[in-house]
Amino acid sequence: MPLLPSGPDPVGRIAVGLSGGVDSSVTAHLLHEAGHDVIGVYMRNWSEADPLCPSAVDAADAAAVAAQIGIPFYTFDLSHAYHDEVFRYFLAQNRRGRTPNPDTLCNKHIKFGHLLEVIDQLGCTHIATGHYARVRYASDSGHYQLCIPTDTAKDQTYFLHQLQPHQLQRALFPLADLPKSAIRQIATQQGFVTATKRDSTGICFIGERNYRQFLQQHLPTTPGQIITADSGQVVGEHQGLAYYTLGQRRDLHVGGVRGYPESPWFVIAKREPTNQLVVSQDSTLLDATRLQAIALHFTTGVTPTQPFQCTAKVRYRSDATPCTVTPLGTDRLQVDFTAPVRAITPGQSVVFYLADQCLGGGEIDTVG
């Protein structure tokens, strides 16, 4: 199976973004084994003095893998750019009661933005990562397309949908045709320290930590009423709208409400003007067939001006649902789904697909 997409742009020296995980480790190994000129690069996105700075284990593991493969290894401090272009956005969205998607911005601005500028100084033509995605060159249009990988269960195109044409042109995803099981097997055969390391989960800078506890360190706690969707009855107190997301049923501490059965309660809506959290035991109230999105980006660099049909995801793990997309000006569009979609959440991304191609997407602004 080819490691690199066919296209008119020659591949010279390749910088592999080594994260200290198994996927990027195998990515570097495969490219080096295939005879490419490869270097390893590690991004430090937090100041070492910052309490948010991840464990030094990741950096050490990345360096160890590079040494074992026998490739040069560099560490770059991108913490200032990360704070300004990703973390500030994350906090600002949460202040508005939205649920942001900072990993998407990290890919656009940091991994395939500032890091590309850095590797230029090292004579690299391309950057490779351990993302499960595919870049395909379409000779008829002259565009590089972002497409889903063979292992669809690990597909990460949702988080890559904001990549610009010039970024896709220089991006390599050598794991496109490999299942996760094969990645683990290769890493074990090579004796990499990352072979049995757990996959990272959650938001890039939060990881396994409690989301609410993390936010409480950075945003003021603003308690307010929890009210029912049907009657507006006050049934509890929330700790701040930022700490909840649509569809959430845990940690609401709502129960024993007179006139209601002992059934789970779900977050149905956030009312920012009145600082109220709306809940209901009827989870069908989370279903919607329409949304509007802003902050649009399409991987061709051209925003459509006419309606089109495709499928769309409203979160990473959601199914792609058939829909009609209608442009509403230069930076807003409407999406009408053919079937109800659960818990469409403002601040998250809606991402469009046509067959196996990821077309791009936008930020969900309103629902219904």
What tokens does 166 get? 């010039």
Catalytic residue among 124, 204, 323, 358: 204
The pair of three-digit structure tokens given for residue 253, joined into one six-digit string: 């501490």
Residue 202, token pair as written in the block: 């959650």
In terms of Cβ atoms closer than 10 Å to its own Cβ (0-12, 13-18, 19+), residue 107 is buried
Instruction: State the pairing for strand pair 224-228/276-280.
Output: parallel
Crossing angle (nearest 10°) for helices 22-33 and 180-190? 70
Amino acid residing at 46: W
Residue 312, strand partner residues: 321, 352
Task: Decide if 353 contacts 320 (C-beta within 8 A).
Answer: yes
Considering 106, 124, 323, 358, which one is annotated as catalytic? 106
Q: Are 248 and 225 in contact (CB under 8 A)?
A: no
Is 323 labeled as catalytic in the residue annotation?
A: no
358 among known catalytic residues:
no
Question: Which residues lie across from 332 on neighbouring strands?
Answer: 294
Extract the runs of DSSP E, i.e. beta strands, from the chain.
13-17, 38-44, 73-77, 124-128, 134-138, 143-147, 171-172, 224-228, 234-238, 266-271, 276-280, 287-298, 308-313, 321-327, 332-342, 349-354, 357-367
**Inter-CA distances, 211 with 107, 217, 224, 235, 279, Å:** 21, 10, 19, 24, 20
220 with 95: CB under 8 angstroms? no
Q: Are strands 171-172 and 124-128 parallel, antiparallel or unpaired?
A: parallel
What are the catalytic residues?
106, 204
